[in-house]
Amino acid sequence: MVRKSSTLPAGYSEDPSAPPMLRYQSSLPKLPVPALESTCSKYLETVKPLVTPEAYARTEAVVSEFLTSPLAQQLQERLKDRANEHTSWLSEWWNDVAYMAYRDPVVVFVSYFYVHANDPLRKTPAKRAASLIKAMIPFRDLVESGRLEPEKVRGAPLCMASYKWLFHSCRYPVKPSDIAEKFDPASNNHIVVLRKNRFFLVPLSNPTTGREFSAAELEAQFEKIIEYAGEKPAETPIGALTSDNRDLWADAREALIRASPSGKNAESLKKIEASMIVLALDDTKPVTREQISWSTWVGDGRNRFFDKHQVVVYENGRSGFLGEHSCMDGTSTLRLNEFMLASLVHNKIDLGSPDVDAASLPPVQELTFDINENIKTLVKESEQRFDKLVSEHDLHVLQYEGFGKNFTKHHKVSPDATAQLIKQLAFHKMFGRPGVTYESAQTRKYQLGRTEVIRSASNESKKWAEAMLDTSAKKDPVALRELFRAAAKRHTTYAAWAADAQGVDRHLFGLKRLLKEGEQLPAIYSDPSFSKSSHWELSTSQLSSPFFDGWGYGEVVPDGYGLGYAIGDDYIRWTITSLKRRSDELKHYLAESATEVKHMLEAAERKEKEAAKL
């Protein structure tokens, strides 16, 4: 029996047999299959600003041919059939292609990071780490018991299925496609701490009485680990294997297990993989935003276990979070981190007694591995590949404090659209054309929904950027603002389509997946405009939190940029990553473009006020 809730939008209901966190799941709508005509129309519109008129004419012809072809209609019907037969027509495919079957290293290419705002009360690594873990446990308990309140957007509940993978889970390297496993929290009520490339198991409660350890007791355990690990890092950092190509890591993992006939290596791995989370206690003291962002993103590649979420804490008490992306997107880990940090800032967490009975604490337990010459060689090769990969990258952070969402709302434009248009103007300054841009939109309003692409480069954004850069005529700020507002409106419209799963990219992906053996690839997919318009030079995503001091991820194409950004009341912050493709110049042009947008909007407002006085 499913009872209807009067507080929900039409079509939603509560399932009393489900735990509270999942009570809306069965009534969430399924991911829709967009109309073929709509997708083709949007596709043409988004291609136009990126290609020459001649190329666009060819693309129009192939799209028209595709739209009227019997094969396109058959593919559309197959996709509808799949949608009827599956909870989500996309989920299984996307999780495999975008994550599990992806063979490049997760670090740089898949992982993402958050930099926590500084905690002025906890300046030592053990104290800061203990408070974060202690604040994480209540959230873990809410998730695992199913008592966490579901998220909603404008009153409509979101899919909460991905929360299963927040704790006590791990990604495994498997050929040809990775898998993930979830472990029982009750029988694995521990974390694993990394220090000096060594692994230590720390129970979260007294194994005899079941009493949860206090923050002070966890702090004492972490202090013991720091002392026990000493000054010299372990010479064979097993964690480095997780930084490698997934096929190479799969082979190395098998070799690591074979290297220990007693099963010790397999058991140590399992204890790491089953832990609530990994805590990395680094021995560095990052100060600048660039330093701590870089350290949280990649570290040194050794004192990590990249197949799991991990909290990273530094010698000076600074901290961050590294997300394993395969089973969930950033909105879920954002909620976790905000819960932890807000709870500590507002003293909402019971940290327990400050007194510590050292004799009652379990001894420090190191998880060791049997290591032979082959394992030493495999680890060394992984280290070398990691060092080479990371050395080819750079990272810059722009903390632009000229304005934020308060300013944009005053001028009646979307904060997110403003940030996206600033990126387009900056790219125009660098390259003289629009940047092919991916902005992530969550589709969790649907069952098993993940993301869709907001194609941020538009005809309107191109027209505005070109007008801003036009030196042939005197610029009218009011006219420029109208072009800007038109481009911003276009962006918010596409963003709404994407959130409703009515974008271009996932639909075209799904149709292509349903081609049968012997069927010819439609020309729309081999047309150069298709690859050009999905070659994401600017991979962008917004996550904003007053409890973060940065966040980011890597580029998705070799000649592109990763651009994680946050919009505060009075700032916009971008983290720029790339394969050393003039990232410092892009940082400069973003700041310059943001200031030009500010001056344009202020000049337009002044001109209007002066005209009103006449």
pLDDT in tens, 298-327: 999 999 999 999 999 999 999 999 999 888
73-128: per-residue pLDDT in tens?
999 999 999 999 999 999 999 999 888 999 999 999 999 999 999 999 999 999 99
Cβ neighbors of 460 (< 8 A, separation 6 or more) are 483, 486, 487, 489, 490
CA 150 from chain centre, in angstroms, equals: 20
Single out the residue of 250, 337, 240 nearest to residue 298, CA to CA.
240
Single out the residue of 97, 62, 32, 69 nearest to residue 533, CA to CA.
62
The radius of gyration computed from the CA coordinates of the chain, to the nearest angstrom, equals 26
For domain 36-93+395-613, the CATH class is alpha beta
What is the H or E stretch that residue 382 is in?
helix 373-391
Alpha-carbon torsion angle 16, 17, 21, 22, nearest 10: -110
201-244: per-residue pLDDT in tens?
999 999 888 999 999 999 999 999 999 999 999 999 999 999 99
Fold of 118-151+169-392: Chloramphenicol Acetyltransferase (3.30.559)
Single out the residue of 459, 452, 399 nearest to residue 424, CA to CA.
459
Distance CA 606, CA 426 (A): 25
Classify residue 56 by burial, with Cβ atoms within 10 Å: 0-12, 13-18, 19+.
Answer: middle
210-221: per-residue pLDDT in tens?
999 999 999 999
494-510: per-residue pLDDT in tens?
999 999 999 999 999 99
Active centre residues (catalytic):
325
3-state secondary structure of 436: coil
Q: What pTM did the predictor assign?
A: 0.95
Q: Tell me the three-class secondary structure of 5-29, residue by residue.
A: CCCCCCCCEECCCCCHHHCCHHHCC
392-440: per-residue pLDDT in tens?
999 999 999 999 999 999 999 999 999 999 999 999 999 999 999 999 9
Mean pLDDT (whole number) for 521-546? 97
Alpha-carbon torsion angle 299, 302, 303, 308, nearest 10: 90
341-367: per-residue pLDDT in tens?
999 999 999 999 999 988 889 998 999
Mean pLDDT (whole number) for 149-175? 95
What is the structure's pLDDT at 431?
A: 98
3-state secondary structure of 212: strand
264-278: per-residue pLDDT in tens?
999 999 999 999 999
* Packing angle, helices 583-613 and 415-431, rounded to 10: 120
Query: pLDDT-derived band of residue 3, with 50, 70 and 90 as boundaries?
Result: very low
Q: Which tokens sit at 407? A: 């300013």
Check the CA dihedral 129-135-141-143 and report its sign.
negative
Spatial contact of 180 and 327, defined as CB atoms under 8 Å apart: yes
Q: How far is CA 287 from CA 132, 291, 513, 585, in A?
A: 20, 6, 47, 23
Task: Round the average pLDDT of the chain to a whole number and report it.
Answer: 96
Q: Which tokens sit at 568? A: 């505060």
Alpha helices in 68-189 (DSSP H): 70-85, 91-94, 106-109, 125-145
Single out the residue of 496, 446, 495, 443 nearest to residue 331, CA to CA.
443
Spatial contact of 167 and 277, defined as CB atoms under 8 Å apart: yes
Spatial contact of 214 and 134, defined as CB atoms under 8 Å apart: yes
Spatial contact of 308 and 325, defined as CB atoms under 8 Å apart: no
36-93+395-613 and 118-151+169-392: identical CATH topology? yes
Domain boundaries along the sequence of the chain: 36-93+395-613, 118-151+169-392
3-state secondary structure of 264: helix
Q: Partners of 278 in the beta sheet?
A: 192, 310
179-199: per-residue pLDDT in tens?
999 999 999 999 999 999 999
Single out the residue of 293, 301, 275, 315 nearest to residue 193, CA to CA.
275
Distance CA 300, CA 382 (A): 12
Rounded to the nearest 5 percent, the helix, strand and coil shares of the chain are 50, 15, 35
Q: How far is CA 197 from CA 194, 200, 204, in A?
A: 6, 10, 21
Query: pLDDT-derived band of residue 329, with 50, 70 and 90 as boundaries?
Result: confident
Single out the residue of 185, 194, 191 nearest to residue 165, CA to CA.
185
